[in-house]
Amino acid sequence: MRQFSRKKFIIFIILGIFAIPLVGYIYQWIKKKLLHVPILGEIKSASYKVGHLLWNTPFKKTDRIHEVNVVIIGSGISGLSAANELFKKGESNFVILELEPTAGGNARNGENVAGKYPFGAHYLPLPSLEMKELIDFLKEIDVIESFSENGLPIYNEQYLCAAPEDRLYIHGHWQSGIVPNFGLAEDDKKQIRRFQSEMKRLKHVKGSDGLYAFSLPLKNSSKDKTYANLDAISMEHYLRKEGYTSTYLYWYVNYCCKDDFGTSTEDTSAWAGLHYFCSRRGVAANSEEHDQLTWPEGNAWLMEKLKQPIASNIRVGNLAYEVNKKGERYEVVSLDTITGNVEQWNCANIIFACPQFVIGHIRTNIAELKNRSYDAFHYSSWMVGNLLVKNNLIEKGGAPLSWDNVIYNSPALGYINSNAQYVQRHQPEINLTYYYAFDEKQMSRKKLLQTSHAELTHMMLNDLKQVYSDIEGSIIRYDAFIWGHAMIKPQVGFIWGEEKRKALTPILGSIYFAHTDLSGISIFEEAFYQGITAATAVLKKGNASN
């Protein structure tokens, strides 16, 4: 009896051990195969295919010829800002050629039942008072309502980032604020405090030329070698050199670099990394210092304001592919991708407000343009996904859903509640906009552009399941915008390097360049000032010749 019972017992145990995962597997299989409904949605991306195709195809003859004073190529913030400046100063004889079906570049947006949401850029930090042109623009469009007695801007509070602003999921808990704090050892906290006070010091420090060490627009920063030389080392190197060891601090700085540039601390110059922390001196009468301006559709709101006065000058779906000098004037040839017509724009000035890698593909008889070097220009690629979800997500403990929600040690950059700025009490569905900057080593641009919707969705789910274990049941759809060349990488030596300076130099006093890749950091402020600078140069030349 004993023998029998033991044998039976062992068999029972072995069967049991195998049965538990088997039952689990069958359950999962049934759930996946029979009950699984794939998440709806689509991939959107920049029209790189049109570009690739057309640059390699011979074109037919010109259908129409236009005479204008200025041709602006590209309708991102740089191009729109240049156009606005021209228009404001009385020059309205210009055209903007845009390859994409809609204007706006990185500052475009989508819309669904829950409201608007950004495809890319989604906020503007309060500008410093010395950024006079930007402050004036914000006043013009009523983002700044008035100024207080002591000269501080009073912002329209509907556009200031709604509370609660941000939170971080760390050690199984949502803490408020994204600087790691919850569950950190005293030494880590001390290092983070030291880093913060050093950033605070550098924010107000000035170089021997009397300029702030770090300024916006970037070109107004001090040229003092003490600071400019920081461009020669990486942010990672800087942190090590300063004696920081806390992994939490390294994570935080890396997160900030990726969030602003799409690059890791190793791939970011220390000057650029510090610029992120030390260039914003924005103040307001009715807000905290480092507050944000934001809208449900992100910077598309600002873009629309820039676009509005000059909207009739924009030609969308229009690919400029050839630029030639003819006598004192220039001919820009473009293809209207909608009608198939080839158009020629005769002009006195050209502003290239598109990324440099695009200019490299343009045919030209101008040697200076043909010989420009683009080797130093590298771009990070991004996925900006939008999750339309039922507003019934079960939150983990701690801080409530905020505008910006970041997960510690996630490969992605967290998600924005794009509905946070809406004042409605009842929001049955909301848009969570999910940001992911890719490391070239893990996911090449080519591979990213070939990744299917199901795989992109899977990537997002894997990440967000950490904080919403049953998120799948709440997702209505997931649309992913893939940006192959989302942002210029401020790599070591790029910002203060020779290549960038050369690329920014106008050609023949008539061809100008305005784009954030010529600043080295891809942000609204830089684009805004790049546009103004180019337009001012064009206007100055016009005045001189009159």
Partner 1 sequence: MDNTLHKRRLTKSTLLLLSVFVIATCGLIYELVAGTLASYLLGDSITQFSTIIGTYLFAMGIGSYLSRYLNKNLIVWFIQIELLVGLIGGFSSTLLFLVFDQVVYFRVILYAIVSLTGMFVGLEIPILMRILKEEFEFKDLVSEVFTFDYIGALLASLIFPLFFVPHVGLIRTSLFFGIINTAVALWVIYTFKNQVKYIRSLISVAWLVFLLMLTCFVLADYIQQYTESIAYHDKIIISKSSPYQRIVVTNSKNELRLYINGNLQFSTLDEYRYHESLVHPIMANAIDRDTVLIMGGGDGMAVRELLKYPDVKKIILVDLDPEMTKLFKSHPALSKLNNHSFSDSRVEIINDDAFIWALNQKNTFSTIIIDFPDPSNFSLGKLYSSTFYNRLYQLLKPNGCTVIQSTSPYFAPLSFWCVNATLKKSGFNTLPYHTYIPSFGEWGYIIGYKESFNQAQSYPKDLKYISPILFDQMCFFSKDMSERPVEINRLNNQVLVQYFDQEWSKFVQ
Phi and psi angles of residue 342, each rounded to the nearest 5 degrees, phi first: -100, 130
Q: Is 2 in the site for partner 1 (CB under 8 A)?
A: yes
- Smallest separation, CB 315 to partner 1 (Å): 35
Contact stretch for partner 1 (CB under 8 A) within 2-10, 96-104, 269-277, 480-488: 2-10
Q: Which of 32, 426, 441, 446 binds partner 1 (CB under 8 A)?
A: 426
Select 288 or 455, whichever has its Cβ closest to partner 1.
Answer: 288
- Smallest separation, CB 16 to partner 1 (Å): 8
State the Cα angle at 111 between 390 and 381, rounded to 5°.
95
Select 112 or 427, whichever has its Cβ closest to partner 1.
Answer: 427
The DSSP letter of residue 513 is E
Omega of the bond leading into 217 within 30 degrees of 0 (cis): yes
Burial of 414 (0-12, 13-18, 19+ CB in 10 A): buried
Q: Which of 425, 442, 446, 546 binds partner 1 (CB under 8 A)?
A: 425
Residue 292, amino acid: Q
Residues within window 154-173 making contact with partner 1, judged by CB under 8 A: 157-158, 160-165
Q: Which of 100, 291, 297, 525 binds partner 1 (CB under 8 A)?
A: 291
Contact stretch for partner 1 (CB under 8 A) within 55-63, 257-265, 420-428, 456-464: 420-428
Q: Is 35 in the site for partner 1 (CB under 8 A)?
A: no
- Smallest separation, CB 173 to partner 1 (Å): 13
Contact stretch for partner 1 (CB under 8 A) within 38-46, 83-91, 300-308, 423-431: 423-431
- DSSP of 263-291: --GGGSBHHHHHHHHHS-----TTS-TT-
Cα(382)–Cα(384) distance, integer angstroms: 6
- DSSP of 7-50: HHHHHHHHHHHHHHHHHHHHHHHHHHHTS--PPB--EEE-SHHH
Q: Is 428 in the site for partner 1 (CB under 8 A)?
A: yes
Q: Is 28 in the site for partner 1 (CB under 8 A)?
A: no
Residues within window 260-289 making contact with partner 1, judged by CB under 8 A: 286-288
Which structure tokens are listed for 492? Answer: 């070591």
Phi and psi angles of residue 32, each rounded to the nearest 5 degrees, phi first: -75, -50
Given the structure tokens 């994570």, which residue do they identify? Answer: 251
Q: Which of 312, 424, 452, 543 binds partner 1 (CB under 8 A)?
A: 424
Cβ atoms of 66 and 346 within 8 Å: the answer is yes
Cβ atoms of 524 and 517 within 8 Å: the answer is no
Cβ atoms of 350 and 82 within 8 Å: the answer is no
Contact stretch for partner 1 (CB under 8 A) within 153-161, 303-311, 368-376, 490-498: 153-161
Q: Is 395 in the site for partner 1 (CB under 8 A)?
A: no
Element (H, E) at 539: helix 524-545
- Report CA-CA distances (Å) from 497 to 133, 263, 376, 491, 520: 27, 18, 9, 10, 10
Of 46, 44, 505, 80, nearest in space to 319 by CA = 46
Cβ atoms of 397 and 167 within 8 Å: the answer is no
Burial of 49 (0-12, 13-18, 19+ CB in 10 A): exposed
Select 162 or 460, whichever has its Cβ closest to partner 1.
Answer: 162
Select 34 or 423, whichever has its Cβ closest to partner 1.
Answer: 423
How many residues make contact with partner 1 (CB under 8 A)? 25
- Smallest separation, CB 423 to partner 1 (Å): 4
Q: Is 427 in the site for partner 1 (CB under 8 A)?
A: yes
- Smallest separation, CB 161 to partner 1 (Å): 6
Q: Which residues pair with 390 in a beta bridge?
A: 429
Chain Cα centroid distance, residue 387: 18
Q: Is 150 in the site for partner 1 (CB under 8 A)?
A: no
Cα(310)–Cα(69) distance, integer angstroms: 15
Q: Helix (H, G, I), strand (E, B), or coil: what is residue 486?
A: strand
Select 123 or 377, whichever has its Cβ closest to partner 1.
Answer: 123
Q: Is 423 in the site for partner 1 (CB under 8 A)?
A: yes
Q: Is 495 in the site for partner 1 (CB under 8 A)?
A: no
- Smallest separation, CB 9 to partner 1 (Å): 7
- Smallest separation, CB 7 to partner 1 (Å): 13
HSE of 400 in the Cβ direction (CA atoms, 13 Å)?
Answer: 5
Select 24 or 101, whichever has its Cβ closest to partner 1.
Answer: 24
Contact stretch for partner 1 (CB under 8 A) within 30-38, 127-135, 183-191, 422-430: 422-430
- Smallest separation, CB 140 to partner 1 (Å): 20
- Smallest separation, CB 394 to partner 1 (Å): 12
Q: Is the dihedral of CA 426, 397, 393, 467 positive or negative?
A: positive
Select 2 or 441, whichever has its Cβ closest to partner 1.
Answer: 2
Contact positions vs partner 1 (CB under 8 A): 1-2, 5-6, 9, 16, 157-158, 160-165, 286-288, 291, 400, 423-428
